[in-house]
Structure 1
Amino acid sequence: MAELSTDQRNHLDEDKFAFPKQRKEPLENASHVRNAVARFNQVKDVTDKERDEAWHRIQRAARKFDVQLDEKSWHELKAKK
């Protein structure tokens, strides 16, 4: 994965994160998108509405970076535990 330095991460706009309020899971490239999906259930203290919004951002980033998502909803990720 292309690592972001702390400085790079701090300079990202909020809309570049799956969870912007928490600044969790940046979506800067295909590797980040795959990582955001893998870590989705590890993000704590977020509402289902925030998860819905994060999933939509991940889907948009996946299309942008040509990442195939097998899941149609973040709820499917919970079933894979």
Structure 2
Amino acid sequence: MTELSEKQRDRLDEDQFAFPKQRKEPLNNATHVRNAMARFNQVKGVSDEDRDEAWSRIKRVAKKHGVEVREKSWRELGSES
């Protein structure tokens, strides 16, 4: 199941989000990790520091779920390098 209901989302701990203060981009499974990476640059209202911390979380959780992350930094997302 990839879609989270509001109730399921509310039950997630803060540390299960890429952006925990804002509770944005859940990271509870491989599909959500991929979605968080794909939507990363669309997240509004966060600082570059928040993005740095979120990217670290995404990379850590991606490894746990077997999701390949080629980019070393979130700044590389969407680039062809």
TM-score over 0.5 (shorter chain) = yes
CA deviation vs aligned residue, 1:10-56 (integer Å, no higher than 9, x gap):
01110000001111000011000000000000001111100000000
Instruction: Kindly state the Cα deviation for residue 78 of structure 1 after the two structures are TM-superposed.
Output: 5.5
What corresponds to 2:44 in structure 1?
Answer: 44
- Helix, strand or coil for the counterpart of 2:49? helix
Identity over aligned residues, as a percent?
68
What corresponds to 1:27 in structure 2?
Answer: 27
- Helix, strand or coil for the counterpart of 1:28? coil
- Helix, strand or coil for the counterpart of 1:18? strand
What corresponds to 1:16 in structure 2?
Answer: 16
Q: CA RMSD in A?
A: 1.3
C-alpha separation in 2, matches of 1:39 and 1:56: 15
Question: Please, what TM-score do these two structures have when normalized by structure 1?
Answer: 0.93
**What stretches of structure 1 of length at least 5 have no aligned partner?**
none
Would you say 1:2 and 2:2 are equivalent positions? yes
Within 5 Å, which residues of 2 pair with 1:47-62? 47-62=47-62
- Helix, strand or coil for the counterpart of 2:77? helix
